[in-house]
A and B are shown apart, each in its own frame.
Chain A
Amino acid sequence: MKKFIIDPMDLSVEEIDDLIALANDIIKDRTRYQDVCAHKILATLFFEPSTRTRLSFESAMLSLGGNVLGFPTANVSSASKGETVSDTIHVTSGYCDIIAMRHPKEGAPVVASSACTVPLINAGDGGHNHPTQTLTDLLTIQREKGTLKNLTVGFCGDLKFGRTVHSLLKAMSRYEGTKFVFISPDELKLPDYLKEDILDPMGIEYKEVRSMEEVMPELDILYMTRVQQERFFNEQDYIRLRDTYILDEEKLQAAKKDMIVMHPLPRVNEIKTEVDADPRAAYFRQANNGRFIRMALILSLLGLQNEVERL
């Protein structure tokens, strides 16, 4: 495994399989893993606030018996004094065994990795990559569907700017039999380069539609995203389209009994709360999985994935 996980594609399919297997083993019996990272330190360097992601990393390390240190926002770090990312990482990698870093600038983890002496995980760089979200999604799909192969994945909402969609699309493209359905307004369609660079060369079947009702019965997974008002030029267009992409129980009637609904969260109004009680609503289980896949990733990057057998 690479020392720096910056892009979800830094991991091979086999490495992802191993991480998922390890996460599943952790979920089965967490107590076996509770001391594996004793005396190890995770630094959470968040140059941009993201409470949820930071807490899930910290929870993962604490659940492994390790320690955490870090700063929650850039204005309490020396970045506010004008220090470069490279220098900050150079210094902090001397204080810890592994780093999880979030930065508002895209590509910041690439710069960080050139100065980093310990393993580093990108915890999100602007609208670019967020590999642990993708790993969380893959773990969720594997746990809910029992496989990552031969699945029809519907992405709904903002497919133009949504980085979780782009990353999961790349990751799922590597599995046999994957089909995609892209459900979005014309204004928020999937960028052409993803079709030209990934889907077309790999011969992956996909279609683009405007309404979710017409494709609902075909889907194994419905991955919802938020349609953000600021992406539209005028409010009327936004209001016209907003309600089209709200998932409710009525729309779910047409879905398969074992289809799952995913969402990277936070949601606003794109999934009605009435859907939460439906067994197909997997998004809270998905959020919960984030902690376990991060535990698996931390263990693997520290080379401690087999340590539990020794303890």
Chain B
Amino acid sequence: MRIDSIKNGIVIDHIAAGKAKEVYDALDLGKLDCQVAIIMNCRSNKMGKKDIIKIDNDFDVDLDVLGYIDPNITVSIIKNGERVEKKKLQLPEKIINVAKCKNPRCITSVERDLDQVFYLANREKRIYRCYYCESKAEKKG
């Protein structure tokens, strides 16, 4: 299968196989007007299988969102067909309106206009907790 390389844009690589849709939704890529290619289950020496997303336009990627989903994801900025920058992700200390608290007893379930805030509680185990009720963030898949 052949996907054309992009001239100016972004390549989000090393996404764990099957997670591309989650990245697509989290970055709200459906709103973009440009071409977006989602490539799933690519062969990878390092990962066995992986997903890739190519975005055919310059776009301000929210690195905190990606870092929260998986800090092993890489983001490459492509200009004139060349990679000009490769961004390494980190686990963000705090994420706002990325995950939603699932605790039905949490104040976020009733208070209007309240941001969904999670903080990094355990870096080693990648555990995020709700800033309000301290419930663990439940990641998809």
With contact pairs A128-B133, A128-B134, A197-B122 given, residues A111 and B105 touching in the complex (Cβ less than 8 Å)? no
A-facing mask of B109-141, CB < 8 A → 1, else 0? 111111000000110000000111111100000
With contact pairs A111-B132, A128-B134 given, residues A106 and B106 touching in the complex (Cβ less than 8 Å)? yes
With contact pairs A84-B112, A106-B132, A128-B134 given, residues A111 and B122 touching in the complex (Cβ less than 8 Å)? no
A37 to B105 alpha-carbon distance, docked (Å): 35
Check: A70 CB closer than 8 A to any chain B CB. no
Q: Please determine whether A85 and B122 come into contact, CB atoms closer than 8 angstroms.
A: no
Query: Which residues does chain B contribute within 8 Å of A108, judged by CB atoms?
Result: 107, 111, 132
A-facing mask of B95-106, CB < 8 A → 1, else 0? 000000001011
A269 to B122 alpha-carbon distance, docked (Å): 39
- Of the candidates B105, B112, B122, B136, which one forms a contact with A126 in the assembled complex, judged by CB atoms under 8 Å apart? B105
A-B contact pairs, 12 of them (CB 8 A): A84-B113, A85-B107, A103-B107, A104-B105, A105-B107, A105-B109, A106-B103, A108-B111, A108-B132, A111-B132, A126-B105, A197-B121
Give A108 Cβ to nearest chain B Cβ, in Å. Answer: 4
Query: Which residues does chain A contribute within 8 Å of B122, judged by CB atoms?
Result: 197
**A98-127 CB contacts (< 8 Å) to partner B:** 103-108, 110-111, 125-127
Q: Please determine whether B105 and A106 come into contact, CB atoms closer than 8 angstroms.
A: yes
Size category of the binding interface on chain B: 20 to 34
A190 to B108 alpha-carbon distance, docked (Å): 26
Which DSSP category, helix, strand, loop or mixed, fits chain B's interface?
loop
* B residues at A contact (CB < 8 Å): 103, 105-114, 121-122, 130-136
- Of the candidates A111, A126, A193, A197, which one forms a contact with B114 in the assembled complex, judged by CB atoms under 8 Å apart? A111
Q: Please determine whether B133 and A106 come into contact, CB atoms closer than 8 angstroms.
A: yes
Give B61 Cβ to nearest chain A Cβ, in Å. Answer: 30
Q: Please determine whether A107 and B132 come into contact, CB atoms closer than 8 angstroms.
A: yes
- In the complex, how many residue pairs between chain A and chain B have their CB atoms under 8 Å apart? 53
* A residues at B contact (CB < 8 Å): 84-86, 103-108, 110-111, 125-128, 193, 197
Give B109 Cβ to nearest chain A Cβ, in Å. Answer: 7
- Of the candidates A86, A107, A193, which one forms a contact with B133 in the assembled complex, judged by CB atoms under 8 Å apart? A107
Q: Please determine whether B103 and A110 come into contact, CB atoms closer than 8 angstroms.
A: no
Query: Which residues does chain B contribute within 8 Å of A127, judged by CB atoms?
Result: 105
A125 to B130 alpha-carbon distance, docked (Å): 14
A84 to B107 alpha-carbon distance, docked (Å): 10
Q: Please determine whether A111 and B111 come into contact, CB atoms closer than 8 angstroms.
A: yes
Query: Which residues does chain B contribute within 8 Å of A84, judged by CB atoms?
Result: 111-113
- Of the candidates A110, A126, A128, which one forms a contact with B131 in the assembled complex, judged by CB atoms under 8 Å apart? A110
Query: Which residues does chain A contribute within 8 Å of B110, judged by CB atoms?
Result: 105
Give A77 Cβ to nearest chain B Cβ, in Å. Answer: 14
Q: Please determine whether B131 and A107 come into contact, CB atoms closer than 8 angstroms.
A: yes
Q: Please determine whether B112 and A105 come into contact, CB atoms closer than 8 angstroms.
A: no
Give A226 Cβ to nearest chain B Cβ, in Å. Answer: 19
A126 to B134 alpha-carbon distance, docked (Å): 12
Considering the complex, give the chain A residue whose CB is closest to the CB of B113. Answer: A84
With contact pairs A128-B133, A128-B134, A197-B122 given, residues A110 and B105 touching in the complex (Cβ less than 8 Å)? no
Which 5 pairs show the lowest CB-CB distances between chains A and B? Answer: A107-B132, A106-B133, A107-B133, A105-B107, A107-B107
A85 to B114 alpha-carbon distance, docked (Å): 11
Considering the complex, give the chain A residue whose CB is closest to the CB of B108. Answer: A107
A108 to B133 alpha-carbon distance, docked (Å): 8
Give A74 Cβ to nearest chain B Cβ, in Å. Answer: 11
Query: Which residues does chain A contribute within 8 Å of B131, judged by CB atoms?
Result: 107, 110
A23 to B107 alpha-carbon distance, docked (Å): 32
A246 to B48 alpha-carbon distance, docked (Å): 56
Q: Please determine whether B132 and A86 come into contact, CB atoms closer than 8 angstroms.
A: no
Q: Please determine whether B111 and A85 come into contact, CB atoms closer than 8 angstroms.
A: yes
A196 to B11 alpha-carbon distance, docked (Å): 38
Residue among A84, A86, A104, A105 facing the most chain B CB atoms (10 A cut-off): A105
Considering the complex, give the chain B residue whose CB is closest to the CB of A104. Answer: B105
- Of the candidates A85, A86, A107, which one forms a contact with B106 in the assembled complex, judged by CB atoms under 8 Å apart? A107
A128 to B105 alpha-carbon distance, docked (Å): 10
Give B113 Cβ to nearest chain A Cβ, in Å. Answer: 8
A111 to B117 alpha-carbon distance, docked (Å): 12
